[in-house]
A and B are shown apart, each in its own frame.
Chain A
């Protein structure tokens, strides 16, 4: 049974946000992996091959933009499903260009998004 659960990787340095996502996704029937920064996030992504990655941008050690860039350089990672979940507004040209280059499926601003809607977004991506 466990093998059939869809695997979500949460890469988020803010513990309260990470745990909120973990709890709700676990309750919604996902198997959840967590990383508190980009380096660990990348390592987990490349070894565990999650079905989808929720990626924060501003993080210590390795930020989300860099992690996304490295992920896309990997043969598995180049097509991995990624939703950027950040509190940075998509209004800096540079930021947007760098993130867009990593072709995430969505760019969601956390404070504008209801957590249940984030879960719906994850479901939507995984049932495509």
Chain B
């Protein structure tokens, strides 16, 4: 049969074959014994093998896989193998595998593997993969840009900070009252800039997913106390009380202290900032061993979030009307960052708030993910 249009092929094996051969992604099919049954053209090109050379050979000989660090991945750890064993995994691989070509060179690949079923039996497994070298390069370029930008933006800010501090401390001679006031304005304005740059950097890192989560045994109590110490000047100035409570069995938990700190820092400083003089801020931390979750509750009796804007409070750069009136300095990034970190870590965040009564935030985090 001479087929010149797709409709000529409808319902024939030739259609499936033509499509398979035309796919831009590599496709490899194995049987239940782990032997290669099929390799499409894209896979041939990517791997450097011809289909007829590899059909019937063990898949681990044809596509050798390793981690980024070059550690060999044995066949028993292949996702294909796990799928043959009946495990339901459709893998959006976040960390790429490295595939080794016939000539020994390698490339990072993202892959999706699924079982091939016939009559309700698993008769094999299929893996669809593609080379993600390009994506990786883009990601790396972005990361480099952020770190360069952070350096370039912060350097002049550091200079302004340091010289302003020295002038205010009288290191270059005593200032009169007016001069001190002006210096204070310069210093304060620059501090806002520093905070803005830090917040923007956190946002870009989160959005580019370059936030490396590095869990280590973390003493949450110490971490919270260090945030409280930082806030103490502001708390004292407003005659507020800020009381932490920790469940007594709080162990060292596996968490990334830098990320966890950002969460506490934002929630607590918001609570202090948006509560009146004499206000009460509470922070309760507990660890539920049975659910493997860390629970955080931060509550205040401050100005609250207007009912009509509660659905926007986590949006980037959003600030509620009532806080914009009383405080012009916020960035609108804090809660956005907190939510990103919490969700990035598989946790949840919610709040209850009544305007002019107060707000309570509830955060639940799976241990070992933050």
Contacts and interface: CB of A to CB of B under 8 A. Distances in A.
Contact of A114 (B161, B198, B205, B258): B161
Contacts of A95: 147
A93 B201 CA distance: 16
Interface in A1-57: 14, 16-17, 20-21, 23-24, 27
A115 B162 contact: yes
B171 interface: yes
A91 B258 contact: yes
Interface residues of A, number: 25
Contacts of B219: none
A90 B165 CA distance: 25
A12 B297 CA distance: 43
Of the candidates B154, B197, B198, the one having the most CB atoms from chain A within 10 angstroms of its own CB is B154
Nearest to B158: A110
Contacts of B352: none
A62 interface: no
B198 A112 contact: yes
B265 to A, nearest CB: 12
Contacts of B201: 89
B236 interface: no
B243 interface: no
Interface string A72-98: 000000000000001111111101000
A92 B212 contact: yes
Interface size class of chain B, counting residues whose CB lies under 8 Å from the partner chain? 20 to 34
B222 to A, nearest CB: 17
B159 A20 contact: yes
B158 A111 contact: yes
B266 to A, nearest CB: 15
A14 B159 CA distance: 9
Contact of A88 (B150, B171, B197, B211): B150
Interface in B300-343: none
Nearest to B156: A16
A6 to B, nearest CB: 19
A114 B187 CA distance: 11
Contacts of B210: 91-92
A115 B166 contact: yes
Contacts of A115: 161-162, 165-166
A38 to B, nearest CB: 16
Contacts of B212: 91-93
Given A23-B166, A115-B166, A93 B214 contact: yes
B169 interface: yes
A58 interface: yes
Contacts of A90: 258
Contact of B151 (A21, A24, A58, A116): A58
A115 B165 CA distance: 7
Contacts of B163: 16, 20
A114 B165 contact: yes
B157 interface: yes
Contact of A92 (B147, B155, B258): B147
A39 B151 CA distance: 21
B116 interface: no
Interface of B: 143, 147, 150-151, 154-155, 157-159, 161-163, 165-166, 169, 171, 194, 197-198, 201, 205, 210-212, 214, 258
Given A14-B159, A87-B151, A87-B155, 4 more contacts: A20-B162, A91-B205, A112-B194, A114-B165
Interface of A: 14, 16-17, 20-21, 23-24, 27, 58, 86-93, 95, 109-112, 114-116
18 contacts: A14-B155, A16-B159, A16-B163, A20-B163, A21-B162, A23-B171, A87-B150, A91-B210, A91-B258, A92-B210, A92-B212, A109-B154, A110-B155, A111-B157, A111-B161, A114-B161, A115-B162, A116-B165
